[in-house]
Amino acid sequence: MKLFHLFPVLALFPFSLAIPYEEYILAPRTRTLYPDSVHSSNGSVSNPDSLTASSGSSVFQDDSATAYDFGKNIAGLVTLTIGSVSDGNQYIGVTFSESSLWVSNRSCDATADAGKDETLWFKVTGPGTYTAPREKERGGFRYMTLVHNGTGSVEVTSAEIHYTPMPHWEDDSLANYTGYFHCDDELLNRIWYAGAYTNQMCTIDPHYGNALVHLREINSSVSDAINVTWWSNYTITNGSSALVDGAKRDRIVWAGDMSIAVPGVVASTNDVITIQNSLNSLFDVQNATTGQLPYAGRPFPSILSFTYHLYTLIGVSDLYLYTGDIEYLSSLWDKWKLGLSFSLSFIDDSGLMNVTSPNDWLRFGMGGHNIEANSILYYTINQGIMLAEALNDTESTVSWQTTAERIKIAANQLLWDETAGMYIDNETTTLMPQDGNSWAVVANLTMNSSQIDRISANLAERWTPYGAPALEAADAISPFISGFELQAHFIAENATAALELMRLEWGFMLDDPRMTNSTFIEGYSTTGELHYAPYLNDARISHAHGWATGPTSSLTFYVAGIQLLSAGGKTWRIAPSLGDLKFTDAGFSTSVGFFSAKTQVSDGGVQIDFQAPEDTTGEVRMPSMGCTGQILMQEASGRCEDITIDVTEADAGPITVAGVAGGQWKATFSCD
């Protein structure tokens, strides 16, 4: 009889490992893609709609063009199949754009500081297939325009894209996520999956990074050019995949961008090898004498950035936290310590690091005793102490501890403005930056929780209808720094503020018609214009930037509340912070195993069903229900004894249950 019951179940779920909430995953299920719909058509073009299928017939006569919409941001190589032609001297051009703003029959959007990228032309001599050369892979586009020039006619029977992101994953497995998220707010669900997809778009074959042909060569004097050359053919890392800043550009490795992208990758695809390839490429070009790490990976010129140098070190500690891979950590440890020494050598008598190079995330005024850079340094030193303990190499930890304490004291003496309730950028200014204030909270540079609350409240005060402004970058909204601001609101225990900011800023980025409805943009202005202060060229802005994916990890780690505390999850914390939500369900896998937490809030209490691998231990933070009652925790296998706690004060706050063994638990807090 048991078999009889199993059958209908198997028939309903044909895949042995169903992926939860798979319908939200934006990654294509095949690498062969066709346009979704026609955006616009000009001149004499027959049946443009027919090319939304694998086989059609659309005849371009004389000067004519059709712009196609793929419905989401994609990337890859175009192949056109040509049917009949009027003669052997015809041309079909192809242009690409991420935003509808730059759809054109004359040029692509841009990858350089000025002008627009040239059209990809095919000389059509007769029927057959015409495939773009490999260096003409386009890394990000939602729109593709086919152009015919001159006189005569060309019949196109298919316009196909070979999708190239996630090159190291099987063609039919691009949606095989190891993590998932769901809650009772559809916008937040879409935001989580768009973040995950953005990071997949930024995971490229390292042989096809941006050649940066025109770096520092093109300027505003050629701003009208529509013929800027572009090639994606520079080898940026070893291995078969690399995590880059942006899908369209720069297509090179930037450690700062990784600091937001990597936690999102872990929460969704756990694509560890790509993270390693990318980090390795930065350590490969470390200066062996000074320890200085690059601002960005090759082919970017060797330049010092105090913060991106530290972000590379943070990349290593992040990867250790998410994998527990002590061998990989050991392999980089000497270089890591040399890198930290390099930063420590810039600490002066004040106790703070004096930043002598302006390069950061393209904010302005990075220099001197900068609060962001010193917060990141404080954070990195503490990461170093954690890593040193894991490696039993504690020779330097006492000195690092002393240095870190001095940074904290000095920063609070010199840079905290008690009246305003925020940190100033450095001692010579009244500007209170978003990056430094967010980072001070994230790094625990603050001395007390009242500072955290005030920073959170003051940052929230500044929001415009389009998101959280970064005053340190003129009129920019930075989805990168806003990712750290989200973390600051969670640390301030104001999940409601963090969710509000996600809906405001990431909701705008998803739903505005100029965006891709699938990936997150690099930056824009406080008034909602798609102008990013550091760039002259609006067409250059990347619409798929991994640094803009902060909500993906924040929703999993803070809202659903699954936190890894050490070594791939050997120790963990379950601490849901639902804000105004009533339901969350999230999970992800690391090499240590599978972690999940499903939380349901009702008037009578809260129930958390969570799972953590055996041989791990953790703690559970039951959210306060504002009532007295009883907490009951039961483990499904019966290996562990039930845990009961009487809550006798309604305002007791969240209650932490420590020393919980891995297993499949049901935890309830029932109000009396």
Does 451 help bind ligand NAG (rule: CB under 6 A)? no
Q: From CA 21, how far away is CA 53, in angstroms rounded?
A: 27
Task: Mark residues 257-276: x for contact with ligand NAG by CB under 6 A, - for none.
Answer: --------------------
Does 497 help bind ligand NAG (rule: CB under 6 A)? yes
**Partners of 608 in beta bridges:** 599, 667
Q: Which two structure tokens, joined as six digits, stand for 588?
A: 């992800």
Q: From CA 63, how far away is CA 148, in angstroms rounded?
A: 6
What is the nearest approach in angstroms of ligand NAG to the Cβ of residue 329? 8
Instruction: Calculate the alpha carbon distances from 430 to 148, 357, 419, 422, 423 in Å.
Output: 56, 21, 12, 10, 9
Let me know: does 504 contact 465? Beta carbons within 8 Å: yes
Q: From CA 53, how far away is CA 35, in angstroms rounded?
A: 7
Q: Which of 138, 182, 190, 543 binds ligand NAG (CB under 6 A)?
A: 190
What is the nearest approach in angstroms of ligand NAG to the Cβ of residue 261? 20
Does 369 help bind ligand NAG (rule: CB under 6 A)? yes
Looking at residues 502 to 561 of the shown chain, list those that interact with ligand NAG (rule: CB under 6 A).
517
Sequence-separated (6 or more) residues with CB below 8 Å from residue 303: 294, 295, 296, 357, 359
Instruction: Calculate the alpha carbon distances from 112 to 93, 161, 216 in Å.
Output: 20, 24, 9
Q: Which range touches ligand NAG (CB under 6 A), out of 261-269, 284-292, 411-419, 519-527? A: 284-292
Q: Which two structure tokens, joined as six digits, stand for 182?
A: 């769901």
Question: Containing H/E element for 65?
Answer: strand 58-85
Does 401 help bind ligand NAG (rule: CB under 6 A)? no
Q: Which of 238, 428, 602, 648 binds ligand NAG (CB under 6 A)?
A: 428
Q: Which of 259, 482, 494, 554 binds ligand NAG (CB under 6 A)?
A: 494
Where are any strands of DSSP class E within 468-623? 469-470, 476-477, 524-525, 562-566, 571-574, 583-590, 593-602, 605-622
What is the nearest approach in angstroms of ligand NAG to the Cβ of residue 632? 28
Q: Which of 101, 187, 215, 326 binds ligand NAG (CB under 6 A)?
A: 326
Phi then psi for 376, rounded to 5 degrees?
A: -65, -40
Q: Which of 61, 219, 354, 464 binds ligand NAG (CB under 6 A)?
A: 354
Does 431 help bind ligand NAG (rule: CB under 6 A)? yes
What is the nearest approach in angstroms of ligand NAG to the Cβ of residue 371? 9
Q: From CA 492, how far away is CA 231, in angstroms rounded?
A: 45
# binding residues, ligand NAG (CB under 6 A):
55
Sequence-separated (6 or more) residues with CB below 8 Å from residue 349: none
Does 392 help bind ligand NAG (rule: CB under 6 A)? yes
Q: Which range touches ligand NAG (CB under 6 A), out of 99-107, 257-265, 479-487, 522-530? A: 99-107
Looking at residues 18 to 57 of the shown chain, list those that interact with ligand NAG (rule: CB under 6 A).
40-42
Let me know: does 526 contact 469? Beta carbons within 8 Å: yes
Does 135 help bind ligand NAG (rule: CB under 6 A)? yes
For residue 224, count CB atoms less than 10 angstroms from its CB and return exposed for 0-12, middle for 13-18, buried for 19 or more.
exposed
Does 565 help bind ligand NAG (rule: CB under 6 A)? no
Q: Which range touches ligand NAG (CB under 6 A), out of 199-207, 372-380, 420-428, 627-635? A: 420-428
Q: Which of 44, 129, 227, 648 binds ligand NAG (CB under 6 A)?
A: 227
Q: From CA 234, how far away is CA 599, in angstroms rounded?
A: 46
What is the nearest approach in angstroms of ligand NAG to the Cβ of residue 4? 26
Q: Which residues bind ligand NAG (CB under 6 A)?
A: 15, 40-42, 65-67, 91, 103-105, 121, 135, 145, 149-150, 170, 172-173, 176, 190, 211, 224-225, 227, 231, 233-234, 287, 289-290, 326, 348, 354, 356, 365, 367-369, 391-392, 408, 425-426, 428-429, 431, 444, 460, 472, 494, 496-497, 500, 517
